[in-house]
Structure 1
Amino acid sequence: MSDGAPEQRQFLRAVSREEALARLRAAFVPAPLGVETVALETALGRVLADDVAAAVDVPGFDRANVDGFAVRAADTEDAAEDAPVQLALNAELLTPGIVPGVEVAPGTATPIATGGMLPRGADAVVMLEHSDRAGAGVAVTRPAAPGAFVTHAGADIARGESVLFAGQPLGSREIGLLAATGTGEVPVWRRPRVAILSTGDELLAPGEPPRDGGVYDSNGHILAAAVREHGGEPWALGIVRDDEAALQAAIEQALAADMVLLSGGTSKGEGDIAHRVAGHWDDPGIVVHGVAVKPGKPLCLAVTRGRPVVLLPGFPTSAIFTFQEFVAPVLRAMAGRREAMRSRRRATLPLALPSELGRAEYHMVGLLPDASGGLAAYPIPKGSGAVSTFSRADGFIVAGERSRGLAAGSEVTVYCLDEAQELPDVVAVGSHCVGLDRMLARLRREGYAVRSLHVGSLGGVEAARRGDCDVAGVHLLDPETDTYNRPWLPDGVRLLPGYRRRQGICYRADDERLAGLAGTALQTRLRADEALVMVNRNAGSGTRVLVDRLLGDWQPPGWGVQPASHNAVAAAVAQGRADWGVTIAPVAAAYGLAFDPLRDEHYDFLVPESRWDRPAVARFRALLEDEAMREELANVGMRVDGESGE
């Protein structure tokens, strides 16, 4: 290695997930941290630390369940519609909260409201509907059995009965139960205090203005929310720069908490310093550095001063995934909670997933209803560095350490991230477009549940062919016929004309090499100047088909850089990593780029015939004729004209 080059050290030996958890639990045995008493009105979400027994009966007295008359059942046994029994009325009305003062003697009745206390002598209640008032008396038209419409004292909860047990999380139902027994304060386990640090010179706090090379700190916020979800109390200590002394001081402060979480700095590169700070501890210090899982290999687990310290990877999906797998079980035990049990769903994998031997790979997936009435598990096509991967996933599937991958069509087990999963009314799979986003947002405002997965135009064609979606957004140009989308239409799928988007070449307006050029002159300059670097598009996208047609056999500098979105192309040009690329007009405008049109492309929708007349799909189709929707699409650079393909 040359002098001055940053040194890339290797990981310590990566261990399996099971061994990593075993090592952590051997060094730190998680247990509840102590009891505190809180007022009932603040107990929501807490965990009971002791059994709670009822101090009173519920109800505390015999009470009426209906509006009517408190009677002696024996007085009504001969009552009938055509031969009512006449009873004299006592001179009191028993509404809730009134203590009876008059005994119900034979041949009498007392008016009583729902919830009223049953008076002495009465053993039943006659409903108003089974009686007629007659002056100072009442005519009973139906017999009442003993105990009719009466709830006896303690029938719901008996004094001394255990109503809740230690370890029970307190939700709204449990709060109501405690209130019904007169409990004003409850013993709960203390919430573990979890210090959270984000490390890295590149990090910005949300709300700060963006800067080149800057990344907003999402990890700190998602980890704080996840800590709350699992029963902890987050202590956000903010961002620490890549300075070993500063990080050492921040960790020293953080060790006042019950647990410490850091994100970033866990790898063994020259700029990763968190593991070096932890490497000084020997009580026992680092117990695991490197786990044979993907995402999350750089995970570092340590214990010092009797506290777990977890160094999570900096990539967002890696950070939250390793938190859920390795930190959440420990945190829940410290909070007095049981380990969460994930629900599982069986699904079909529509796409092949390659896997690397030697470590377990966890693939985030979205669950969609398929044509057979089952579920399809679509991989979320973004890596561990993507913020959206975890938030858009319904669950994950696992390719084991000895697996070379999962074949298309495989039956897989999906480990769900949430217990409650909203079933979508409209599923959109295919190429992403801000116009489609606006249409789905409109449906959402109208009360429809929507779901979208961005897998590219060809992925959308395949999803429509399989019947795994309601609509597939596509913009595929057939070079032979110069036609969009229609030549790609599978059997059993209909084409819904969408809208047009203008594709063109974008470049920086202040680039003197290209300023003022357009059309053939611009393209000639791009081919003539080898210093001009392009940014390509990914194979399978509609734009890539157009780019390939534009380039022919020419592969200019930058051809191998193939991001998967219009925005990525525009960002590369705007930031100077490339000089030109092909994108759509509204995206070029959003990044302040010059734009030279190539052609209008058709962004249409493929709809399986079996789903064409579904109410939600019919509403989606109708939106393309809605004037307000058309105006909204026009505002983001889309033009609806009802034509398709040609």
Structure 2
Amino acid sequence: MVTAPSLTEQVRRAARQEQFLEVLSAEEATRRFRAALDLAPLEAETVGLAEALHRVVAQGIAAAADAPPFDRSSVDGFALRAADTAGATEASPRRLRLNGEVLACGTAPAIEVLPGTATAIATGGVIPRGADAVVMIEHTELEEGGGAAIALRRAAAPGQFIGFAGSDIARGEALLRAGTTITSREIGMLAAAGHATVPVVRRPRVAILSTGDELVPPGTTPLPPGAIPDSNAAILAAAVAEHGGEPLPLGIFRDDEAVLEQAVRRALETADLVVMSGGTSKGAGDVSHRIIGRLGPPGVLAHGVALKPGKPLCLAAVGRKPLVVLPGFPTSAVFTFHEFVVPVIRALAGLPPRAETTLEASLAIRTPSELGRTEYVMVSLSETADGEGLTAWPLGKGSGSVTAFSQADGFFAIPALAQGAEAGMPVQVRLIGEARLPELSIIGSHCVGLDDVLEVLAEQGIRARTLAVGSLGGLAAARRGECDLAPAHLLDAKTGLYNTPWLEAGLRLVPGWRRIQGVVFRPGDARFEGLDGAEAIRRAAADPACLLVNRNAGSGTRILLDGLLGGARPPGYPNQPKSHNAVATAVAQGRADWGMAIGTVARAYGLGFLPIADEHYDFFVPEARLERPALQAFLAALESDAVRERLRVLGFTPA
């Protein structure tokens, strides 16, 4: 009889160091990986022009036909013999008899242009036999007496206003060379030169397998306890297509070694590259690295790379076919995919390496780093106070963040031998795509009401960016002139006033709205039901079994709560998430018993709420930025009836 492993044995298995046998530098891992692969472009396939956009030409293409395919007029006018116009002037015009046809586009000429005659012709019309020039209709006068004729008052040169056959593209002329990326311009040229199809490099097929017992398809409701939506597969599939590959999403696989191995073997049979998401970190359910060892040589080439995010990355090959196991956390997965997998996809697709742009920026805040591995820090960029430089704001969301990569403008590296980067030091930011500097930069405390105001600006085409760094962090940014708006709700314990005690020269305070802060708890909890907020905090702080979820230092909520606690440090005090929503989630899920949040969030999460303070959510504005159009648009929206009503619906009171 087989017995289930004991808890002790499960822990031992989870801690067993079966991976990271040799943590490599990113450079060495890349070298080993690429040395094992055949990175030549894949074989050619023929596609129609409608499917050719962004594909890569596989072999040189010559024009199949002349363009234009016949001599044609480039103006509306009259086709004639240039010799008949010699000596024509205003005083002595030449009279030419009109032939009995009008040559519109697509009409074949039927009448030869004889000496002393002309034929009406439209732009693009076929030049008739006998004609060697075209005159513009504006330079003629129509005469009707004695038969249709034109009077011409200026001479024409042979070839005037005629586009000759093959003058744009000649049959047999080299049209496109191998390696050319096809855009709309190349498609037009191919069509004009007589091609309905084009030979292109076959797009590499990239199989994507998501692994992990915790994963469920996006949109699953209700979300089971401990489950997370599989966002990686969607991100990776889009990134594969973005870089010239053909994504083959194969779905979610549980941590069943036999089932997963069978799926990987099938993927290797049909795909040019296999990407697995998850199953690289040390843990009881991680089996991917063991499977690779049974698939065939050369197997694992690097398992563990000295970088952050992305240390658990596993690079392997089966034969000459690449197999990559990405970390499960979204930021780690996406970052390592772009660094290690995208170059392989682009090479197989025949595309050139990505163009990379680097900008210098001043680091906004000190950023610590783990000694011994290169750390890549995702940052958002904003203009400096003088508008001449850039400030880099670390997003600080960690490798588990889904949004960090999409919100970042780029990243900079902290070397492996450094323990961090100091505020104010210049850093080289490698852009992710194009720099997307916002028209309105907002740094400080976040509020759902702010999202509604910015939605109105978005409808006006104004790009805004918010960085939630807390009220004090935003105030510091406003003092340095690094943002347009710094939302804050700072309570001065001495005066009992919000925000105004922090005003100083160069700053203006714009009133926003009032919102109610209070204690949140699970409905039915007798430790809170029926109490007022202050009494509930006093009792909870004295109860060792009552667990708090705090807020981050520098936030207005934290300042308010610290004042109410009067120096007490109840259980859970060190747990300091950065948003009202995170506090509400912790309480709703039972990981904490109480916390401080605004009433709007408490209602959204179905929590009990004990009001504490009617706080002021206002905006510090650097006076030097007041005249910016986007800031003026924000201030106008804030005063509009529509926005004020939206704020009321959310439970706020406009100032």
Alignment TM-score, normalising by the size of structure 1 = 0.95
Q: Residue 644 of structure 1 aligns with which residue?
A: none
Task: Indicate how the Cα distance of structure 1 residues 482 and 73 shifts in structure 2: closer, same or farther if over 3 A, else same.
Answer: farther
1:288 match: secondary structure: strand
User: Of 248, 256, 261, which residue of structure 2 is paired with 1:235?
Assistant: 248
Q: Residue 193 of structure 2 aligns with which residue?
A: 181
User: Of 90, 95, 100, which residue of structure 1 is paired with 2:109?
Assistant: 100
Task: Indicate how the Cα distance of structure 1 residues 535 and 31 shifts in structure 2: closer, same or farther if over 3 A, else same.
Answer: same
CA apart distance, 1:79: 3.7
CA apart distance, 1:192: 1.5
The one-letter code sitting in structure 1 at the alignment partner of 2:29 is: A
1:575-590 matched pairs, under 5 angstroms = 575-590=589-604
CA apart distance, 1:429: 1.9
Cα separation, 1, equivalents of 2:194 and 2:122:
23
Q: Residue 142 of structure 2 aligns with which residue?
A: 133
Aligned-residue sequence identity (percent) comes to 57
2:625 is aligned with 1:618: no
CA contact (8 A) 1:31 1:334 kept: yes
CA contact (8 A) 2:265 2:295 kept: no
2:185 is aligned with 1:170: no
CA contact (8 A) 1:267 1:275 kept: no
Task: Indicate how the Cα distance of structure 1 residues 279 and 480 shifts in structure 2: closer, same or farther if over 3 A, else same.
Answer: farther
User: Of 413, 427, 433, which residue of structure 2 is paired with 1:418?
Assistant: 433
Q: Residue 30 of structure 1 aligns with which residue?
A: 39
My pick for the range that moved more, 383-392 or 154-163, is: 154-163
Cα separation, 2, equivalents of 1:475 and 1:77:
86
CA apart distance, 1:438: 1.1
User: Of 29, 39, 45, which residue of structure 1 is paired with 2:48?
Assistant: 39
CA contact (8 A) 1:40 1:184 kept: yes
Task: Indicate how the Cα distance of structure 1 residues 305 and 447 shifts in structure 2: closer, same or farther if over 3 A, else same.
Answer: same
Q: Residue 259 of structure 1 aligns with which residue?
A: 273
2:226 is aligned with 1:213: yes
Cα separation, 2, equivalents of 1:601 and 1:82:
88
Deviation string 1:190-247 (CA, Å, 9 cap, x unpaired) is 2211111111111110121112211110001101111111111111111111222222
Cα separation, 2, equivalents of 1:243 and 1:634:
51
The one-letter code sitting in structure 1 at the alignment partner of 2:197 is: E
Task: Indicate how the Cα distance of structure 1 residues 524 and 470 shifts in structure 2: closer, same or farther if over 3 A, else same.
Answer: closer
Cα separation, 1, equivalents of 2:315 and 2:181:
28
Q: Residue 214 of structure 2 aligns with which residue?
A: 202
CA contact (8 A) 1:87 1:139 kept: yes
2:156 is aligned with 1:144: yes
CA apart distance, 1:42: 2.0
Task: Indicate how the Cα distance of structure 1 residues 320 and 108 shifts in structure 2: closer, same or farther if over 3 A, else same.
Answer: same
My pick for the range that moved more, 532-541 or 106-115, is: 106-115
Cα separation, 2, equivalents of 1:462 and 1:155:
65
CA apart distance, 1:455: 2.2
My pick for the range that moved more, 374-383 or 533-542, is: 374-383
User: Of 381, 398, 415, which residue of structure 2 is paired with 1:383?
Assistant: 398
CA RMSD of aligned residues (A): 1.9
1:191 match: secondary structure: coil
Deviation string 1:506-529 (CA, Å, 9 cap, x unpaired) is 000122332222234423321332
CA apart distance, 1:423: 4.3
Cα separation, 1, equivalents of 2:240 and 2:230:
16
Cα separation, 2, equivalents of 1:352 and 1:400:
15
Q: Residue 3 of structure 2 aligns with which residue?
A: none
CA contact (8 A) 1:465 1:491 kept: no
Deviation string 1:165-205 (CA, Å, 9 cap, x unpaired) is 12222222222221111211111222211111111111110
My pick for the range that moved more, 233-242 or 37-46, is: 37-46
Deviation string 1:464-483 (CA, Å, 9 cap, x unpaired) is 22222222222222222222
Cα separation, 1, equivalents of 2:61 and 2:652:
62
CA contact (8 A) 2:303 2:314 kept: yes
Q: Residue 396 of structure 1 aligns with which residue?
A: 411
CA apart distance, 1:84: 3.6
1:221-620 matched pairs, under 5 angstroms = 221-256=234-269, 257-373=271-387, 374-419=389-434, 421-620=435-634
Cα separation, 2, equivalents of 1:523 and 1:368:
39
The one-letter code sitting in structure 1 at the alignment partner of 2:11 is: A
Cα separation, 1, equivalents of 2:151 and 2:609:
90
CA contact (8 A) 1:196 1:220 kept: yes
Q: Residue 157 of structure 1 aligns with which residue?
A: 169
My pick for the range that moved more, 359-368 or 562-571, is: 359-368
The one-letter code sitting in structure 1 at the alignment partner of 2:236 is: L
My pick for the range that moved more, 431-440 or 524-533, is: 524-533
Task: Indicate how the Cα distance of structure 1 residues 84 and 381 shifts in structure 2: closer, same or farther if over 3 A, else same.
Answer: farther
1:345 match: secondary structure: strand
CA apart distance, 1:34: 1.8
CA apart distance, 1:490: 4.5
Cα separation, 2, equivalents of 1:110 and 1:386:
72
The one-letter code sitting in structure 2 at the alignment partner of 1:240 is: F
Task: Indicate how the Cα distance of structure 1 residues 159 and 265 shifts in structure 2: closer, same or farther if over 3 A, else same.
Answer: same
Q: Residue 82 of structure 2 aligns with which residue?
A: 73
Task: Indicate how the Cα distance of structure 1 residues 423 and 84 shifts in structure 2: closer, same or farther if over 3 A, else same.
Answer: farther
Alignment TM-score, normalising by the size of structure 2 = 0.94
The one-letter code sitting in structure 2 at the alignment partner of 1:5 is: V
Task: Indicate how the Cα distance of structure 1 residues 150 and 455 shifts in structure 2: closer, same or farther if over 3 A, else same.
Answer: farther
My pick for the range that moved more, 480-489 or 157-166, is: 480-489
Cα separation, 2, equivalents of 1:371 and 1:202:
46
Task: Indicate how the Cα distance of structure 1 residues 83 and 542 shifts in structure 2: closer, same or farther if over 3 A, else same.
Answer: farther
2:125 is aligned with 1:116: yes
CA apart distance, 1:77: 4.7
CA apart distance, 1:259: 1.3
1:251 match: secondary structure: helix
2:103 match: secondary structure: coil
CA contact (8 A) 2:409 2:436 kept: no
CA apart distance, 1:411: 2.6
CA contact (8 A) 2:38 2:320 kept: no
Task: Indicate how the Cα distance of structure 1 residues 81 and 355 shifts in structure 2: closer, same or farther if over 3 A, else same.
Answer: farther
Task: Indicate how the Cα distance of structure 1 residues 134 and 20 shifts in structure 2: closer, same or farther if over 3 A, else same.
Answer: same
Cα separation, 1, equivalents of 2:380 and 2:354:
21
My pick for the range that moved more, 75-84 or 124-133, is: 75-84
CA contact (8 A) 1:264 1:312 kept: yes
CA apart distance, 1:397: 1.2
Cα separation, 1, equivalents of 2:503 and 2:487:
12
2:377 match: secondary structure: strand
Task: Indicate how the Cα distance of structure 1 residues 263 and 107 shifts in structure 2: closer, same or farther if over 3 A, else same.
Answer: same
My pick for the range that moved more, 591-600 or 37-46, is: 37-46
Residue segments in structure 2 that go unaligned for 5+ positions in a row:
1-6
Q: Residue 11 of structure 2 aligns with which residue?
A: 5
The one-letter code sitting in structure 2 at the alignment partner of 1:384 is: S
CA contact (8 A) 1:461 1:490 kept: no
My pick for the range that moved more, 383-392 or 359-368, is: 359-368
Cα separation, 1, equivalents of 2:75 and 2:575:
76
Cα separation, 1, equivalents of 2:293 and 2:497:
62
Cα separation, 1, equivalents of 2:497 and 2:156:
81
Task: Kindly tell me the number of residue pairs found equivalent between the two proteins.
Answer: 640
2:411 match: secondary structure: strand
CA contact (8 A) 2:488 2:617 kept: yes
Cα separation, 1, equivalents of 2:544 and 2:648:
37
Task: Indicate how the Cα distance of structure 1 residues 279 and 547 shifts in structure 2: closer, same or farther if over 3 A, else same.
Answer: farther
